[in-house]
Protein backbone atom coordinates (compact mmCIF):
# COMPACT_ATOMS: atom_id res chain seq x y z
CA UNK A 1 0.00 0.00 0.00
CA UNK A 2 2.88 2.37 0.75
CA UNK A 3 4.22 1.80 -2.76
CA UNK A 4 0.76 2.41 -4.25
CA UNK A 5 0.41 5.64 -2.28
CA UNK A 6 3.89 6.76 -3.35
CA UNK A 7 3.05 5.99 -6.97
CA UNK A 8 -0.18 7.99 -6.82
CA UNK A 9 1.59 10.92 -5.18
CA UNK A 10 4.24 10.80 -7.88
CA UNK A 11 1.70 10.67 -10.67
CA UNK A 12 -0.26 13.54 -9.17
CA UNK A 13 2.91 15.61 -8.77
CA UNK A 14 3.85 14.84 -12.33
CA UNK A 15 0.41 15.65 -13.64
CA UNK A 16 0.46 18.98 -11.86
CA UNK A 17 3.91 19.94 -13.11
CA UNK A 18 4.67 18.18 -16.39
CA UNK A 19 3.39 21.01 -18.51
CA UNK A 20 4.86 20.98 -21.98
CA UNK A 21 5.52 24.04 -24.02
CA UNK A 22 2.34 23.92 -26.05
CA UNK A 23 -0.70 22.70 -24.16
CA UNK A 24 -0.04 20.87 -20.88
CA UNK A 25 0.07 24.15 -19.06
CA UNK A 26 -2.93 23.99 -16.77
CA UNK A 27 -3.45 22.67 -13.26
CA UNK A 28 -3.76 18.99 -14.09
CA UNK A 29 -5.96 17.32 -11.45
CA UNK A 30 -5.65 13.78 -12.78
CA UNK A 31 -5.60 12.42 -9.24
CA UNK A 32 -9.00 13.92 -8.33
CA UNK A 33 -11.88 11.48 -8.78
CA UNK A 34 -14.87 13.56 -7.67
CA UNK A 35 -17.51 13.76 -10.41
CA UNK A 36 -18.08 17.54 -10.05
CA UNK A 37 -14.53 18.35 -11.10
CA UNK A 38 -14.74 16.29 -14.28
CA UNK A 39 -18.04 17.95 -15.13
CA UNK A 40 -16.22 21.26 -15.62
CA UNK A 41 -14.31 22.37 -18.70
CA UNK A 42 -11.14 22.82 -16.65
CA UNK A 43 -11.53 19.42 -15.05
CA UNK A 44 -12.14 17.40 -18.21
CA UNK A 45 -9.33 19.17 -20.10
CA UNK A 46 -7.00 18.44 -17.20
CA UNK A 47 -8.04 14.79 -17.27
CA UNK A 48 -7.34 14.52 -21.01
CA UNK A 49 -3.97 16.17 -20.50
CA UNK A 50 -3.14 13.58 -17.85
CA UNK A 51 -3.58 10.89 -20.51
CA UNK A 52 -0.64 12.40 -22.41
CA UNK A 53 1.63 12.65 -19.38
CA UNK A 54 2.85 9.01 -19.33
CA UNK A 55 4.27 9.36 -22.85
CA UNK A 56 6.92 11.55 -21.24
CA UNK A 57 8.13 8.64 -19.12
CA UNK A 58 8.75 6.48 -22.19
CA UNK A 59 9.74 8.48 -25.25
CA UNK A 60 13.15 10.09 -25.09
CA UNK A 61 13.85 8.46 -21.72
CA UNK A 62 16.51 6.01 -20.58
CA UNK A 63 14.10 3.34 -19.36
CA UNK A 64 12.17 3.32 -22.62
CA UNK A 65 15.36 3.21 -24.66
CA UNK A 66 16.77 0.38 -22.54
CA UNK A 67 13.69 -1.74 -23.16
CA UNK A 68 13.76 -1.14 -26.91
CA UNK A 69 17.42 -0.79 -27.93
CA UNK A 70 19.33 -2.99 -25.47
CA UNK A 71 19.16 -6.72 -26.07
CA UNK A 72 18.91 -6.24 -29.83
CA UNK A 73 21.44 -6.48 -32.64
CA UNK A 74 22.19 -2.76 -32.69
CA UNK A 75 23.54 -1.92 -29.22
CA UNK A 76 25.73 -3.52 -26.58
CA UNK A 77 25.77 -2.52 -22.93
CA UNK A 78 28.03 0.40 -22.13
CA UNK A 79 30.52 0.72 -19.31
CA UNK A 80 27.92 2.36 -17.07
CA UNK A 81 24.79 0.63 -18.34
CA UNK A 82 22.00 0.88 -15.78
CA UNK A 83 20.02 -2.06 -17.15
CA UNK A 84 22.61 -4.69 -18.11
CA UNK A 85 20.19 -7.60 -17.60
CA UNK A 86 18.13 -6.27 -20.52
CA UNK A 87 21.25 -6.67 -22.68
CA UNK A 88 22.49 -9.99 -21.36
CA UNK A 89 19.20 -11.86 -20.79
CA UNK A 90 20.94 -13.14 -17.67
CA UNK A 91 18.59 -15.86 -16.32
CA UNK A 92 19.56 -15.07 -12.72
CA UNK A 93 19.03 -11.32 -12.79
CA UNK A 94 16.54 -10.80 -15.62
CA UNK A 95 13.44 -11.78 -13.70
CA UNK A 96 10.20 -10.59 -12.15
CA UNK A 97 12.04 -8.20 -9.83
CA UNK A 98 13.38 -6.06 -12.67
CA UNK A 99 12.83 -2.47 -11.51
CA UNK A 100 12.56 -1.00 -15.00
CA UNK A 101 9.78 -3.37 -16.03
CA UNK A 102 7.99 -2.87 -12.73
CA UNK A 103 7.97 0.89 -13.19
CA UNK A 104 6.59 0.72 -16.71
CA UNK A 105 3.95 -1.82 -15.73
CA UNK A 106 2.75 0.68 -13.13
CA UNK A 107 3.03 3.65 -15.52
CA UNK A 108 1.23 2.02 -18.43
CA UNK A 109 -1.65 0.73 -16.33
CA UNK A 110 -1.98 4.12 -14.65
CA UNK A 111 -2.10 5.58 -18.16
CA UNK A 112 -4.82 3.13 -19.19
CA UNK A 113 -6.85 4.15 -16.15
CA UNK A 114 -6.49 7.83 -17.03
CA UNK A 115 -7.75 7.06 -20.55
CA UNK A 116 -10.64 4.90 -19.34
CA UNK A 117 -11.66 7.62 -16.91
CA UNK A 118 -11.53 10.32 -19.59
CA UNK A 119 -13.60 8.22 -22.00
CA UNK A 120 -16.14 7.65 -19.23
CA UNK A 121 -16.59 11.39 -18.54
CA UNK A 122 -16.11 12.99 -21.95
CA UNK A 123 -19.60 12.43 -23.36
CA UNK A 124 -21.26 14.28 -20.50
CA UNK A 125 -18.62 17.02 -20.33
CA UNK A 126 -19.44 20.69 -21.09
CA UNK A 127 -16.95 20.83 -23.97
CA UNK A 128 -18.28 21.97 -27.33
CA UNK A 129 -19.13 19.14 -29.71
CA UNK A 130 -16.12 19.90 -31.93
CA UNK A 131 -13.65 19.93 -29.05
CA UNK A 132 -15.27 16.88 -27.49
CA UNK A 133 -14.73 14.91 -30.69
CA UNK A 134 -11.06 15.88 -30.80
CA UNK A 135 -10.47 14.99 -27.16
CA UNK A 136 -12.26 11.68 -27.56
CA UNK A 137 -10.05 10.85 -30.55
CA UNK A 138 -6.90 11.80 -28.66
CA UNK A 139 -7.74 9.65 -25.66
CA UNK A 140 -8.69 6.62 -27.75
CA UNK A 141 -5.37 6.93 -29.62
CA UNK A 142 -3.44 7.10 -26.36
CA UNK A 143 -5.23 4.08 -24.94
CA UNK A 144 -4.31 2.17 -28.10
CA UNK A 145 -0.68 3.25 -27.72
CA UNK A 146 -0.42 2.15 -24.09
CA UNK A 147 -2.18 -1.15 -24.77
CA UNK A 148 0.24 -1.83 -27.62
CA UNK A 149 3.20 -1.25 -25.34
CA UNK A 150 1.65 -3.55 -22.73
CA UNK A 151 0.67 -6.41 -25.02
CA UNK A 152 3.94 -6.45 -26.97
CA UNK A 153 6.00 -6.29 -23.79
CA UNK A 154 4.08 -8.81 -21.65
CA UNK A 155 1.68 -10.58 -24.01
CA UNK A 156 -1.92 -11.40 -23.12
CA UNK A 157 -2.10 -9.88 -19.65
CA UNK A 158 -4.72 -7.69 -17.99
CA UNK A 159 -7.09 -5.80 -20.30
CA UNK A 160 -9.54 -3.26 -18.95
CA UNK A 161 -11.81 -0.59 -20.39
CA UNK A 162 -13.42 0.58 -17.14
CA UNK A 163 -12.08 3.31 -14.85
CA UNK A 164 -10.90 2.17 -11.44
CA UNK A 165 -11.04 4.27 -8.28
CA UNK A 166 -9.38 1.85 -5.88
CA UNK A 167 -7.10 -1.18 -5.62
CA UNK A 168 -7.97 -4.11 -7.89
CA UNK A 169 -7.24 -7.47 -6.27
CA UNK A 170 -7.76 -9.65 -9.34
CA UNK A 171 -6.29 -9.51 -12.83
CA UNK A 172 -7.46 -11.18 -16.01
CA UNK A 173 -5.50 -12.95 -18.71
CA UNK A 174 -6.82 -11.62 -22.02
CA UNK A 175 -5.64 -12.91 -25.39
CA UNK A 176 -3.34 -10.91 -27.63
CA UNK A 177 -6.09 -10.95 -30.28
CA UNK A 178 -8.50 -9.27 -27.86
CA UNK A 179 -5.91 -6.60 -27.09
CA UNK A 180 -5.57 -5.85 -30.79
CA UNK A 181 -9.33 -5.83 -31.29
CA UNK A 182 -9.48 -2.96 -28.79
CA UNK A 183 -6.40 -1.26 -30.25
CA UNK A 184 -7.94 -1.21 -33.74
CA UNK A 185 -11.32 -0.10 -32.39
CA UNK A 186 -9.66 2.77 -30.53
CA UNK A 187 -7.65 3.81 -33.58
CA UNK A 188 -10.74 3.77 -35.78
CA UNK A 189 -12.44 6.03 -33.25
CA UNK A 190 -9.40 8.34 -33.29
CA UNK A 191 -9.31 8.50 -37.09
CA UNK A 192 -13.03 9.30 -37.21
CA UNK A 193 -12.84 12.09 -34.64
CA UNK A 194 -9.48 13.74 -35.32
CA UNK A 195 -8.56 16.33 -37.90
CA UNK A 196 -5.74 17.80 -39.91
CA UNK A 197 -2.01 17.41 -40.22
CA UNK A 198 -0.98 19.69 -37.36
CA UNK A 199 -2.85 20.66 -34.24
CA UNK A 200 -2.98 24.25 -33.08
CA UNK A 201 -1.44 23.07 -29.82
CA UNK A 202 1.68 21.16 -30.79
CA UNK A 203 2.08 17.61 -29.55
CA UNK A 204 -1.60 16.72 -29.63
CA UNK A 205 -2.69 13.68 -31.61
CA UNK A 206 -3.92 14.36 -35.16
CA UNK A 207 -5.65 12.27 -37.83
CA UNK A 208 -2.43 11.42 -39.74
CA UNK A 209 -0.81 10.35 -36.46
CA UNK A 210 -3.69 7.95 -35.83
CA UNK A 211 -3.55 6.66 -39.41
CA UNK A 212 0.21 6.22 -39.26
CA UNK A 213 0.05 4.35 -35.97
CA UNK A 214 -2.73 2.15 -37.32
CA UNK A 215 -0.52 1.36 -40.34
CA UNK A 216 2.19 0.25 -37.88
CA UNK A 217 -0.34 -1.92 -36.05
CA UNK A 218 -1.66 -3.45 -39.29
CA UNK A 219 1.88 -4.39 -40.28
CA UNK A 220 2.43 -5.88 -36.83
CA UNK A 221 -0.66 -8.08 -37.22
CA UNK A 222 0.18 -9.22 -40.74
CA UNK A 223 -2.56 -7.21 -42.49
CA UNK A 224 -0.22 -6.23 -45.28
CA UNK A 225 -2.56 -4.85 -47.96
CA UNK A 226 -4.33 -2.61 -45.42
CA UNK A 227 -1.03 -1.47 -43.91
CA UNK A 228 0.39 -0.47 -47.29
CA UNK A 229 -2.78 1.36 -48.31
CA UNK A 230 -2.96 3.38 -45.11
CA UNK A 231 0.75 4.22 -45.07
CA UNK A 232 0.50 5.46 -48.68
CA UNK A 233 -2.43 7.66 -47.64
CA UNK A 234 -0.35 9.28 -44.89
CA UNK A 235 2.44 9.91 -47.41
CA UNK A 236 0.17 11.41 -50.05
CA UNK A 237 -2.49 13.32 -48.13
CA UNK A 238 -0.73 15.55 -45.60
CA UNK A 239 2.31 17.13 -47.25
CA UNK A 240 4.91 15.63 -44.94
CA UNK A 241 8.30 15.87 -46.63
CA UNK A 242 11.58 13.99 -46.29
CA UNK A 243 14.58 16.18 -45.54
CA UNK A 244 17.16 16.56 -48.28
CA UNK A 245 19.85 16.33 -45.59
CA UNK A 246 19.48 13.55 -43.03
CA UNK A 247 21.91 15.20 -40.62
CA UNK A 248 19.88 18.42 -40.71
CA UNK A 249 16.78 16.44 -39.75
CA UNK A 250 18.40 15.85 -36.34
CA UNK A 251 20.01 19.26 -35.88
CA UNK A 252 18.80 20.78 -32.63
CA UNK A 253 17.47 23.76 -34.62
CA UNK A 254 15.00 21.35 -36.25
CA UNK A 255 14.07 19.52 -33.05
CA UNK A 256 10.68 21.22 -32.63
CA UNK A 257 8.29 18.56 -33.93
CA UNK A 258 5.65 21.10 -34.87
CA UNK A 259 8.02 22.66 -37.42
CA UNK A 260 9.81 19.55 -38.70
CA UNK A 261 8.41 18.37 -42.04
CA UNK A 262 9.16 14.69 -41.36
CA UNK A 263 7.42 14.43 -38.00
CA UNK A 264 3.94 12.93 -37.94
CA UNK A 265 3.66 12.84 -34.15
CA UNK A 266 5.99 13.76 -31.31
CA UNK A 267 6.17 14.12 -27.56
CA UNK A 268 7.13 17.69 -26.89
CA UNK A 269 9.67 18.96 -24.39
CA UNK A 270 10.88 22.38 -23.37
CA UNK A 271 14.00 24.20 -22.22
CA UNK A 272 12.07 25.73 -19.31
CA UNK A 273 13.07 23.84 -16.15
CA UNK A 274 10.00 25.18 -14.35
CA UNK A 275 7.94 23.02 -16.71
CA UNK A 276 10.21 19.97 -16.41
CA UNK A 277 9.32 18.19 -13.20
CA UNK A 278 11.98 15.79 -11.92
CA UNK A 279 10.14 13.36 -9.65
CA UNK A 280 13.10 11.07 -8.99
CA UNK A 281 13.59 12.82 -5.65
CA UNK A 282 10.25 11.66 -4.26
CA UNK A 283 10.81 9.44 -1.23
CA UNK A 284 10.21 5.76 -1.70
CA UNK A 285 12.00 5.16 -4.98
CA UNK A 286 15.24 3.18 -5.12
CA UNK A 287 18.35 4.60 -6.72
CA UNK A 288 17.87 2.28 -9.69
CA UNK A 289 14.27 3.40 -10.17
CA UNK A 290 15.22 7.06 -9.83
CA UNK A 291 17.80 6.69 -12.60
CA UNK A 292 15.06 6.49 -15.20
CA UNK A 293 12.22 8.29 -13.46
CA UNK A 294 13.28 11.87 -14.22
CA UNK A 295 10.36 13.31 -16.13
CA UNK A 296 11.78 16.53 -17.46
CA UNK A 297 13.15 16.83 -20.95
CA UNK A 298 14.52 14.51 -23.61
CA UNK A 299 17.46 12.55 -22.14
CA UNK A 300 18.84 10.31 -24.89
CA UNK A 301 21.46 12.84 -25.94
CA UNK A 302 23.74 11.51 -23.21
CA UNK A 303 23.00 7.79 -23.19
CA UNK A 304 24.82 6.78 -26.39
CA UNK A 305 28.00 8.71 -25.52
CA UNK A 306 31.47 7.26 -24.66
CA UNK A 307 33.90 8.49 -22.00
CA UNK A 308 35.79 10.68 -24.43
CA UNK A 309 37.02 12.80 -21.52
CA UNK A 310 39.25 9.93 -20.35
CA UNK A 311 41.42 10.61 -23.40
CA UNK A 312 44.07 13.19 -24.12
CA UNK A 313 43.15 16.64 -25.32
CA UNK A 314 39.45 16.62 -24.50
CA UNK A 315 37.79 17.83 -21.32
CA UNK A 316 34.12 17.12 -20.75
CA UNK A 317 32.07 19.90 -22.31
CA UNK A 318 28.54 20.82 -23.32
CA UNK A 319 28.99 20.34 -27.07
CA UNK A 320 30.36 16.80 -26.66
CA UNK A 321 27.81 15.99 -23.93
CA UNK A 322 28.14 13.76 -20.88
CA UNK A 323 29.79 10.36 -21.38
CA UNK A 324 27.07 8.28 -19.75
CA UNK A 325 28.01 5.20 -21.87
CA UNK A 326 24.70 3.40 -21.47
CA UNK A 327 24.53 1.95 -25.00
CA UNK A 328 27.39 1.13 -27.37
CA UNK A 329 26.95 0.92 -31.13
CA UNK A 330 27.48 -2.71 -32.17
CA UNK A 331 29.84 -3.83 -34.90
CA UNK A 332 26.83 -5.08 -36.81
CA UNK A 333 25.13 -1.68 -36.67
CA UNK A 334 28.23 0.07 -37.98
CA UNK A 335 28.53 -2.46 -40.80
CA UNK A 336 25.07 -1.67 -42.18
CA UNK A 337 26.08 1.68 -43.73
CA UNK A 338 27.92 2.51 -46.92
CA UNK A 339 29.09 5.98 -46.01
CA UNK A 340 30.32 6.63 -49.55
CA UNK A 341 26.77 6.80 -50.90
CA UNK A 342 24.43 7.02 -47.88
CA UNK A 343 24.05 10.25 -45.88
CA UNK A 344 22.77 8.44 -42.85
CA UNK A 345 26.10 7.28 -41.48
CA UNK A 346 27.46 10.82 -41.12
CA UNK A 347 24.03 11.97 -39.95
CA UNK A 348 23.86 9.33 -37.22
CA UNK A 349 27.33 8.78 -35.77
CA UNK A 350 30.21 10.76 -34.33
CA UNK A 351 33.78 9.60 -34.98
CA UNK A 352 35.85 12.70 -34.18
CA UNK A 353 36.43 14.74 -31.01
CA UNK A 354 38.50 17.91 -31.06
CA UNK A 355 41.01 19.22 -28.58
CA UNK A 356 39.55 21.75 -26.18
CA UNK A 357 42.47 22.17 -23.84
CA UNK A 358 42.56 18.84 -22.06
CA UNK A 359 45.79 17.25 -20.83
CA UNK A 360 48.19 16.22 -23.61
CA UNK A 361 51.10 14.07 -22.48
CA UNK A 362 51.57 11.90 -25.54
CA UNK A 363 50.38 14.29 -28.26
CA UNK A 364 52.51 17.27 -27.25
CA UNK A 365 52.01 19.15 -30.53
CA UNK A 366 48.21 19.06 -30.25
CA UNK A 367 46.55 22.47 -30.13
CA UNK A 368 43.03 23.55 -29.29
CA UNK A 369 40.85 22.85 -32.31
CA UNK A 370 43.00 19.98 -33.58
CA UNK A 371 41.65 16.46 -33.90
CA UNK A 372 42.14 14.69 -30.57
CA UNK A 373 40.27 11.40 -31.04
CA UNK A 374 39.41 9.55 -34.24
CA UNK A 375 37.48 6.30 -33.80
CA UNK A 376 36.23 4.91 -37.10
CA UNK A 377 34.03 2.11 -38.42
CA UNK A 378 36.57 1.56 -41.20
CA UNK A 379 39.67 -0.61 -41.17
CA UNK A 380 42.63 1.75 -41.60
CA UNK A 381 45.91 0.97 -43.25
CA UNK A 382 49.02 0.62 -41.10
CA UNK A 383 50.51 3.51 -43.04
CA UNK A 384 47.65 5.81 -42.03
CA UNK A 385 47.94 4.78 -38.39
CA UNK A 386 51.70 5.25 -38.32
CA UNK A 387 51.47 8.63 -40.03
CA UNK A 388 48.97 9.98 -37.51
CA UNK A 389 50.00 8.05 -34.40
CA UNK A 390 51.93 10.99 -32.93
CA UNK A 391 49.25 13.57 -33.77
CA UNK A 392 46.06 12.20 -32.20
CA UNK A 393 44.46 9.00 -30.94
CA UNK A 394 43.45 6.69 -33.79
CA UNK A 395 41.40 3.51 -33.40
CA UNK A 396 39.73 1.65 -36.24
CA UNK A 397 37.13 -1.09 -36.27
CA UNK A 398 39.64 -3.78 -35.36
CA UNK A 399 41.01 -1.71 -32.50
CA UNK A 400 37.55 -1.16 -31.02
CA UNK A 401 36.16 -4.69 -31.42
CA UNK A 402 37.40 -8.18 -30.75
CA UNK A 403 37.14 -10.85 -33.43
CA UNK A 404 33.92 -12.17 -31.83
CA UNK A 405 32.25 -8.71 -32.25
CA UNK A 406 32.52 -7.84 -28.55
CA UNK A 407 33.90 -4.46 -27.58
CA UNK A 408 37.44 -4.33 -26.27
CA UNK A 409 36.45 -1.50 -23.91
CA UNK A 410 32.79 -0.63 -23.53
CA UNK A 411 33.68 2.87 -22.44
CA UNK A 412 35.20 3.56 -25.88
CA UNK A 413 32.91 3.29 -28.89
CA UNK A 414 31.56 5.19 -31.88
CA UNK A 415 28.78 7.43 -30.65
CA UNK A 416 25.23 7.29 -31.98
CA UNK A 417 24.94 11.04 -32.12
CA UNK A 418 21.63 12.07 -33.66
CA UNK A 419 20.00 13.13 -30.38
CA UNK A 420 22.79 15.57 -29.46
CA UNK A 421 21.86 18.93 -27.93
CA UNK A 422 24.79 21.37 -27.71
CA UNK A 423 22.42 24.18 -26.68
CA UNK A 424 21.86 22.92 -23.13
CA UNK A 425 22.58 25.52 -20.47
CA UNK A 426 25.46 23.57 -18.91
CA UNK A 427 27.62 20.50 -19.42
CA UNK A 428 25.88 18.52 -16.67
CA UNK A 429 22.33 19.49 -17.62
CA UNK A 430 20.47 16.25 -18.31
CA UNK A 431 17.33 17.68 -19.82
CA UNK A 432 17.13 18.64 -23.47
CA UNK A 433 14.45 20.68 -25.22
CA UNK A 434 14.55 18.19 -28.12
CA UNK A 435 11.11 16.80 -28.91
CA UNK A 436 10.88 13.01 -29.08
CA UNK A 437 9.89 12.08 -32.63
CA UNK A 438 7.53 9.12 -32.18
CA UNK A 439 6.39 8.68 -35.78
CA UNK A 440 8.23 10.04 -38.81
CA UNK A 441 7.06 9.97 -42.41
CA UNK A 442 10.05 7.81 -43.42
CA UNK A 443 8.54 4.95 -41.40
CA UNK A 444 5.53 5.01 -43.72
CA UNK A 445 7.79 4.40 -46.75
CA UNK A 446 9.34 1.47 -44.88
CA UNK A 447 5.92 0.09 -43.97
CA UNK A 448 4.80 0.23 -47.60
CA UNK A 449 7.99 -1.48 -48.76
CA UNK A 450 7.70 -4.29 -46.22
CA UNK A 451 3.95 -4.76 -46.50
CA UNK A 452 3.89 -4.78 -50.31
CA UNK A 453 6.90 -7.10 -50.43
CA UNK A 454 5.14 -9.57 -48.13
CA UNK A 455 1.93 -9.15 -50.13
CA UNK A 456 3.70 -10.08 -53.39
CA UNK A 457 3.50 -6.55 -54.78
CA UNK A 458 7.21 -6.18 -55.44
CA UNK A 459 6.96 -3.28 -57.90
CA UNK A 460 5.33 -1.02 -55.30
CA UNK A 461 7.66 -2.26 -52.59
CA UNK A 462 10.73 -1.37 -54.65
CA UNK A 463 9.25 1.96 -55.71
CA UNK A 464 8.63 3.19 -52.15
CA UNK A 465 11.92 1.82 -50.87
CA UNK A 466 13.77 3.69 -53.59
CA UNK A 467 11.86 6.91 -52.89
CA UNK A 468 13.31 6.82 -49.39
CA UNK A 469 16.77 5.56 -50.31
CA UNK A 470 17.39 8.09 -53.09
CA UNK A 471 16.36 10.87 -50.71
CA UNK A 472 18.96 9.57 -48.23
CA UNK A 473 21.66 9.34 -50.89
CA UNK A 474 24.71 11.55 -50.87
CA UNK A 475 24.05 13.91 -53.80
CA UNK A 476 25.28 12.33 -57.01
CA UNK A 477 24.89 8.76 -55.71
CA UNK A 478 21.14 8.35 -56.08
CA UNK A 479 21.37 5.54 -58.63
CA UNK A 480 23.77 3.60 -56.42
CA UNK A 481 21.24 3.73 -53.58
CA UNK A 482 18.46 2.17 -55.67
CA UNK A 483 17.53 -1.46 -55.10
CA UNK A 484 15.67 -4.06 -57.15
CA UNK A 485 13.09 -6.64 -56.18
CA UNK A 486 15.90 -9.18 -55.91
CA UNK A 487 17.43 -7.13 -53.08
CA UNK A 488 14.29 -7.10 -50.98
CA UNK A 489 13.77 -9.62 -48.21
CA UNK A 490 12.99 -9.29 -44.53
CA UNK A 491 16.66 -9.02 -43.58
CA UNK A 492 17.17 -6.13 -45.99
CA UNK A 493 14.05 -4.44 -44.63
CA UNK A 494 15.36 -4.77 -41.07
CA UNK A 495 18.75 -3.42 -42.16
CA UNK A 496 17.06 -0.45 -43.78
CA UNK A 497 14.92 0.19 -40.72
CA UNK A 498 18.11 0.16 -38.63
CA UNK A 499 19.78 2.68 -40.92
CA UNK A 500 16.77 4.97 -40.83
CA UNK A 501 15.27 4.52 -37.35
CA UNK A 502 18.19 3.55 -35.12
CA UNK A 503 17.69 4.70 -31.54
CA UNK A 504 14.04 5.66 -32.06
CA UNK A 505 12.70 3.05 -29.63
CA UNK A 506 11.43 0.58 -32.22
CA UNK A 507 14.13 -2.07 -32.68
CA UNK A 508 13.05 -4.64 -30.09
CA UNK A 509 9.49 -4.48 -31.43
CA UNK A 510 10.75 -4.84 -35.02
CA UNK A 511 12.79 -7.93 -34.21
CA UNK A 512 9.93 -9.44 -32.24
CA UNK A 513 7.24 -8.96 -34.89
CA UNK A 514 9.49 -10.39 -37.64
CA UNK A 515 10.45 -13.33 -35.40
CA UNK A 516 14.12 -12.34 -35.72
CA UNK A 517 14.91 -11.42 -32.12
CA UNK A 518 16.61 -14.65 -31.06
CA UNK A 519 18.41 -15.14 -34.38
CA UNK A 520 19.78 -11.59 -34.52
CA UNK A 521 20.90 -11.47 -30.90
CA UNK A 522 22.68 -14.80 -31.30
CA UNK A 523 24.41 -13.59 -34.47
CA UNK A 524 25.26 -10.00 -33.59
CA UNK A 525 25.04 -9.33 -29.84
CA UNK A 526 27.79 -10.87 -27.74
CA UNK A 527 26.15 -9.61 -24.54
CA UNK A 528 23.04 -11.74 -24.93
CA UNK A 529 23.91 -14.44 -27.46
CA UNK A 530 24.55 -17.18 -24.92
CA UNK A 531 21.43 -16.57 -22.83
CA UNK A 532 18.60 -15.51 -25.13
CA UNK A 533 15.76 -18.00 -25.55
CA UNK A 534 12.44 -18.03 -27.37
CA UNK A 535 10.58 -17.10 -24.17
CA UNK A 536 12.38 -13.72 -24.15
CA UNK A 537 9.93 -12.60 -26.82
CA UNK A 538 7.91 -11.57 -23.75
CA UNK A 539 9.16 -9.82 -20.62
CA UNK A 540 8.55 -11.01 -17.05
CA UNK A 541 5.46 -9.76 -15.25
CA UNK A 542 6.57 -7.80 -12.15
CA UNK A 543 6.56 -9.79 -8.94
CA UNK A 544 4.76 -6.95 -7.17
CA UNK A 545 1.78 -7.54 -9.46
CA UNK A 546 1.85 -11.31 -8.99
CA UNK A 547 2.01 -10.86 -5.21
CA UNK A 548 -0.85 -8.35 -5.16
CA UNK A 549 -3.53 -10.38 -6.97
CA UNK A 550 -5.72 -12.87 -5.14
CA UNK A 551 -6.39 -15.07 -8.21
CA UNK A 552 -2.82 -16.34 -8.40
CA UNK A 553 -3.79 -19.62 -10.04
CA UNK A 554 -5.30 -17.77 -13.02
CA UNK A 555 -2.87 -14.86 -13.30
CA UNK A 556 0.58 -16.46 -13.49
CA UNK A 557 4.05 -15.45 -14.58
CA UNK A 558 4.99 -15.58 -18.26
CA UNK A 559 6.70 -18.86 -19.21
CA UNK A 560 10.44 -19.10 -18.60
CA UNK A 561 10.69 -16.60 -15.75
CA UNK A 562 10.89 -17.03 -12.00
Residue range 247-266, pLDDT digits in tens:
999 999 999 999 999 999 99
In the predicted model, what is the mean pLDDT of residues 150-175?
93
Is 166 a residue whose pLDDT tops 80?
no
Cα separation of 465 and 419, whole Å? 25
Query: What local confidence, expressed as pLDDT, does residue 430 receive?
Result: 83
Given a contact cutoff of 8 angstroms between Cβ atoms, the answer to whether 461 and 448 are in contact is: yes
pLDDT at residue 202, as a whole number? 82
Question: How does the average pLDDT of the chain come out, rounded?
Answer: 90
Q: What percent of the chain has pLDDT over 90?
A: 81
| Domain ranges, ordered by start, for the chain | 298-416
Question: Is the pLDDT reported for residue 298 higher than 70?
Answer: yes
CA dist 80 to 36, 325, 475, Å? 49, 6, 39
Give the pLDDT score at 9.
30
The confidence score (pLDDT) of residue 118 equals 97
Which of the four pLDDT bands, split at 50, 70 and 90, describes residue 198? confident
Q: Is 60 left (phi over 0), alpha (psi -120 to 50) or beta?
A: left
Is residue 188 pLDDT above 50, yes or no? Answer: yes
pLDDT of res. 286? 55
Confidence of residue 348 (pLDDT cuts 50, 70, 90): very high
Q: Let me know: does 26 contact 49? Beta carbons within 8 Å.
A: yes
pLDDT of residue 10: 35
**pLDDT higher than 50, residue 55:** yes
State pLDDT tens for residues 416-430.
999 999 999 888 888
Helical packing angle, 176-193 and 129-154, nearest 10°: 160
Return the half-sphere exposure (C-beta side, CA atoms, 13 A cut-off) of residue 179: 25
pLDDT for residue 278: 52
What's the confidence (pLDDT) of residue 279?
Answer: 52
Q: DSSP character for 426?
A: S
pLDDT for 273: 60
Rounded to an integer, the average pLDDT of 349-358 is 95
Q: Which of 127-141, 280-294, 341-355 has the lowest mean pLDDT?
A: 280-294
At 289, the pLDDT band (50, 70, 90 cuts) reads low
What is the C-alpha separation between 541 and 556, in angstroms, rounded? Answer: 8
Q: Is 156 exposed, middle or buried (0-12, 13-18, 19+ CB in 10 A)?
A: middle
Buried b (16+ CB within 10 A) or exposed e, 160-186: beebeeeeeeebeebeeeebbebbbeb
Average of pLDDT values for 360-366? 90
Distance between CA atoms of 528 and 255, rounded to whole angstroms?
A: 34
- The model carries a pTM of 0.92
Mean pLDDT of 176-203: 92
Write down the pLDDT at residue 405.
97
Amino acid sequence: MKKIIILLIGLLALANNSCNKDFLNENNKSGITADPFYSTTTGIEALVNSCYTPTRFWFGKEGGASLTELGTDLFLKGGDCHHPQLATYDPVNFNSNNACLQLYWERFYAAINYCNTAIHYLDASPLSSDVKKLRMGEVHFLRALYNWLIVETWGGVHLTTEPSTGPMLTANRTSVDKFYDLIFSDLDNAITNLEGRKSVEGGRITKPAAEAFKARMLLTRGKYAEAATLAKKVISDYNFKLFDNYKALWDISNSDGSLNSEVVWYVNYTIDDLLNQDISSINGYTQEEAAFLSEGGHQLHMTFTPRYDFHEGVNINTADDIGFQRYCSSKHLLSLFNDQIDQRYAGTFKEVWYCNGGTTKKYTQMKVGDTAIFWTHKVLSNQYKQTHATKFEVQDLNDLFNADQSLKDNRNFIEMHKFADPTRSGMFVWRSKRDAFVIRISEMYLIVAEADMLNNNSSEAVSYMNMLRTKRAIPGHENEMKVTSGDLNIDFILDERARELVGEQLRWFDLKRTNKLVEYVQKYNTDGAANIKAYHMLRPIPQTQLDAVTNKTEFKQNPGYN
